[in-house]
Amino acid sequence: MIKSWRKIYAKNDNIKAYTLLSPALILVILAMVVPMVLMLSFSMFTQVSMMEIDYTFTFQRYIDFFQKNLLVTLLIKSIKISFLVTLITLITAYPVCYYIAFYVKKNKMLWLVLLTLPFWTSYLLRVFSWKIILGTKGVINSSLINAGILNEPLTFLMYSETAVVITLTHAWAAFALLPLYVSLDKIDFSFIEAGRDLGLSRFEVFWKITFPLSLPGVIGAILIIFIPTVGDYVTPALLGGIEGRMLSNMIQAYFGKINNIPMGAASATIMLTTVVLITIIVSNVTKRLTQRLT
């Protein structure tokens, strides 16, 4: 009996692979899938009082969500800020990756490690440094006032959407740099040379050859920047003020001060749904785009 089981095991890659995968899969199921299913069911309950929850199923929380102007506004703002952050991070990081992939000859690895090093220092501390820079008594304002250029501090720098966008562009830089670099570095240089030989201008070579070939990296970067930004809590809480608040700050309030767990669970579910929808849209659009361009 044991022998025959061993024989099956020795021959079957599926069983071997899943034996090895089982701890990871159990972890994901117990610590992520089950909790998320429970969160989903809580979004269909009702908070009666501080300690009491009514467990009858209802979609009322979702109706509430879309009837509350504040929540819808915050959702839209979260998406808008994430869109801006993604776009700006990509545009600013692209030339850097382009330079390293095509112009740097020696020690490309070193350049890359140096580019991603700040990313590993605490996220909280990086956000905090921006508070030092942008604050009303911060680096920028105090320097400008001391230099006599300004009389009063620039207030739009701090506690605003601008502050949130700048900080997150800095925070997620590595998420753009790595996928972009990888896709640019893979490009076979003879394609570009062929384009030049055929008389295309530099600009045309870029738009018709280099850029389309780097699209996989662009898609990867879009997704891994957009998703965490939609759910970001720290930056809007520290730097956003009232104007820069995002949906996650409200979710936290539902689980904290307001103590309305079903409403918080519903908001989190809506956030997750938004993220999934956007992921699907982005990958489909870019897939079509890639097919058309290449």
Site for another protein in 121-160 (CB under 8 A): 121-126, 128-133, 135, 137-139, 141-143, 146
First to last CA, the chain: 56
Q: Report 250-279 residues binding another protein (CB under 8 A).
A: 251-252, 255, 261, 264-265, 268, 271-272, 275
Which residue is associated with the tokens 């809506």?
Answer: 270
Q: Comparing C-alpha atoms, which of 94, 103, 245 is closest to residue 164?
A: 245
197 vs 292 by CB, closer to another protein: 197
Task: Name the minimum Å distance from CB 218 to another protein.
Answer: 15
Smallest distance, Å, CB 159 to another protein?
Answer: 14
Tell me how far apart the alpha carbons of residues 105 and 158 are, in angstroms, rounded to a whole number: 41
Out of 182, 200, 253, 289, which residue is the one contacting another protein (CB under 8 A)? 182
By CB under 8 A, how many residues form the interface with another protein?
A: 86
Strand partners, 113: none
How long is the chain?
294
Site string for another protein, 48-87 (x = CB under 8 A): ----------------------------------------
Q: Which is nearer to another protein, 146 or 292 (CB)?
A: 146
Q: Out of 44, 81, 93, 180, which residue is the one contacting another protein (CB under 8 A)?
A: 93
Smallest distance, Å, CB 66 to another protein?
19
Task: Characterize 125-136 residue by residue with b for buried, 16 or more Cβ atoms within 10 angstroms of its Cβ, and e for exposed.
Answer: ebbeebbebbbe
Quick one: which of 61, 77, 170, 245 contacts another protein (CB under 8 A)?
170
Residue of 5, 18, 66, 207 that binds another protein (CB under 8 A): 18
Among 71, 79, 112, 263, binds another protein (CB under 8 A): 112
Helix (H), strand (E) counts: the chain: 16, 2
Nearer residue to another protein within complex by CB, 161 or 232:
232
DSSP secondary structure, 217-284, as one string: HHHHHHHHHHHHHHT--HHIIIIITTTT--HHHHHHHHHTTS--HHHHHHHHHHHHHHHHHHHHHHHH
Q: Coil, strand or helix: which one is 53?
A: strand
CB of 290 to another protein, least distance (A): 19
